[in-house]
Structure 1
Amino acid sequence: MQLWIRHETTYTYTAQQAYSIQQLHLTPRLESHQHALSWQLSAAGQLHAYTDAYGNLSHMLTLNAPHTALTIVAAGTVETTAPQGGRVASGDALSPLAYTVPTALTAVTPPIAALAARCIPQPSPLPCTADAMRLAEGIAAAVRYQSGSTAVGTTAGAALDLGTGVCQDHAHILVACCHALGWPARYVSGYIDPGNSGHAASHAWVDVWTDDGADVGWVSVDVTHARLMTDAYCRLAVGRDYDSAAPVRGVRRGAGGESMAATVQVTQQ
């Protein structure tokens, strides 16, 4: 499948800013099941490309000039193939044990531990794919998708208590449930061809380290749709949570407030 993607992010400030710095995860990862046929990243300021600790293709954007707005555009065409059984090639320098470390956004609360235990009453040292899907289905049933019901700083525990959330919350809760069971799991940011689902084209899901006998490694699970990853997905970054895999994240030097608007288009070519 070929996906045409355009992602525009605009920050608008109420006062002039002297300096902005943004960490960008806006370039598709180099993975066997996806290949960027064309991709361009544009913004005012200087872009420095690097690969971060998680193997993500990243950029540091610095704008060292007076400005009252900042627009970042990433666009291109990505060719994807459906990974068999949702399994994505590892090829990572990091051990999967690096993804058992809790974060503030994925901390295990008593309700999260209870949800994990209900879904997986007799856990194995590592899950099989069916275990990961049971968790995903349990989370999707417990936390109804509702756009705008949470924010980027909402923790897994808070979203579960609220009972509503978005794909980011679903992903954080699955990571936290895996941690409660002692299983490696990592957050994935990227895009999805939304079709008629009504869910945002900018998306988040989870890789779970599974043992299916002949196959051991990462299986990519979309909690929001309660399914394995298909060729309708484009992966931007992996990390321990949203903070380490966010498409755009940064700071500025200047007074006043700010607003952010993002538009994402994903269509099949």
Structure 2
Amino acid sequence: MQLTIRHETRYLYTAPLAYTIEQLHMTPRKEPQQQVQSWHLNVPGHVHAYTDAFGNLSHMMTMDVPHRGLDIVASGIVETTAPLKGRVPNGDALSPLLFTAPTRLTGATPGILELAASCLPDGRAQSRDLMSLAEHIFGAVRYQSGATAVTTTASDALALGQGVCQDHAHLFLACCHAHGIAARYVSGYIDPEESDHAASHAWVDAWVEDKDYHGWISIDVTHARLMTDAYCRLAIGRDYDGAAPIRGVRRGGGIESMEVKVDISAR
């Protein structure tokens, strides 16, 4: 599948900013199932490109002159293929054990432990166990745009019974980590087709031990399905904080407003 993607983020402020620094994960990862045909990142200020500890293609943007807004635009064409049974190669040198520790957003609570115990064995899992967990989360936390924020924890989303894709991903990670199963956060894009869900998306990779395969499979918890060629992967991390498309700090600016527009077409 060929995905044509344009992701525009605009920040506006009620007062001038003296300084802004942003970490950007807005360039598709180099992976066997996705090939970048063209990609352009239009960013103001000073930009430094680097590869982070998780193998994500990253940029650090700094603005040290007075400004009242920022426009960040990423666009390009990515050719994707569907991974067999959702299996994505472990092409990096990182141990899966790195992705077994809980984070601020994925800590376990009694409710999470109960949900995890209903689906998962301890220490290892097969694909059917993980798909069962995704289906349970899909039923327990209804998709509702605007119900949560990027600071919402997995336990908060479970208690609320509503959330968005990042909440589904965090809850899945929390359940896996509670049973010692490696799982990591994925940020990227999805061809929305006729869905109401945003084209900017989050899902998970989880470590399985099936009879014929030991490794990562990629699961879209929000749709309770395996990753297909409709997905483009930007970054992996332990949670949203490590894989967010844009994350940073500023000095000054007063009140911030943000507009995000993502357009994806597929053929």
CA distance in 2, matches of 1:125, 1:41: 41
1:68 and 1:109, CA in 2 relative to 1: closer, same or farther beyond 3 A? same
Aligned residue number for residue 18 of structure 2 = 18
Offset of 1:259 from its aligned partner? 1.1
Deviation string 1:174-228 (CA, Å, 9 cap, x unpaired) is 0000011110000000000011111100000000011112211110000110000
Does 2:42 correspond to 1:42? yes
Which 10-residue stretch deviates more, 237-246 or 252-261?
A: 252-261
Q: Residues 184-195 of structure 1 correspond to what in structure 2 (within 5 A)?
A: 184-195=182-193
Letter of the 2:175 counterpart = C
- Give the secondary-structure state (helix, strand or coil) at the position aligned to 1:152: coil
Q: Give the number of aligned pairs.
A: 267
TM-score (norm 1): 0.98
Does the Cα contact within 8 Å between 2:34 and 2:80 map onto a contact in 1?
yes
Deviation string 1:226-268 (CA, Å, 9 cap, x unpaired) is 0000000000000000000000000111141111111111111
Unpaired runs of at least 5, structure 2 = none
1:38 and 1:255, CA in 2 relative to 1: closer, same or farther beyond 3 A? closer
* 1:258 alignment partner, one of 247, 256, 260: 256
Deviation string 1:31-89 (CA, Å, 9 cap, x unpaired) is 00001100000111111100001110000011111100001000000000000000001
Q: Residues 192-211 of structure 1 correspond to what in structure 2 (within 5 A)?
A: 192-211=190-209
Q: Residues 79-98 of structure 1 correspond to what in structure 2 (within 5 A)?
A: 79-98=79-98
Does 2:120 correspond to 1:113? no
Q: Residues 98-109 of structure 1 correspond to what in structure 2 (within 5 A)?
A: 98-109=98-109
CA distance in 1, matches of 2:41, 2:253: 28
CA distance in 2, matches of 1:131, 1:92: 25
Offset of 1:143 from its aligned partner? 0.4
Aligned residue number for residue 151 of structure 2 = 153
CA distance in 2, matches of 1:229, 1:214: 19
Does the Cα contact within 8 Å between 2:50 and 2:58 map onto a contact in 1?
yes
Q: Residues 179-258 of structure 1 correspond to what in structure 2 (within 5 A)?
A: 179-258=177-256
- Give the secondary-structure state (helix, strand or coil) at the position aligned to 1:253: strand
CA distance in 2, matches of 1:29, 1:223: 21
CA distance in 2, matches of 1:212, 1:46: 47
Deviation string 1:132-156 (CA, Å, 9 cap, x unpaired) is 1000000000000011100010000
Deviation string 1:85-114 (CA, Å, 9 cap, x unpaired) is 000011112100000111110011110010
CA distance in 1, matches of 2:193, 2:93: 35
Over 3 Å off, 4+ runs: none
Does the Cα contact within 8 Å between 2:119 and 2:130 map onto a contact in 1?
no
Letter of the 2:64 counterpart = N
- Give the secondary-structure state (helix, strand or coil) at the position aligned to 1:169: helix
Aligned residue number for residue 7 of structure 1 = 7
CA distance in 1, matches of 2:189, 2:112: 27
Aligned residue number for residue 65 of structure 2 = 65
Which 10-residue stretch deviates more, 256-265 or 70-79?
A: 256-265
CA distance in 2, matches of 1:155, 1:208: 19
CA distance in 2, matches of 1:208, 1:255: 40
CA distance in 2, matches of 1:255, 1:127: 48
CA distance in 2, matches of 1:156, 1:92: 27
Unpaired runs of at least 5, structure 1 = none
- Give the secondary-structure state (helix, strand or coil) at the position aligned to 1:18: strand
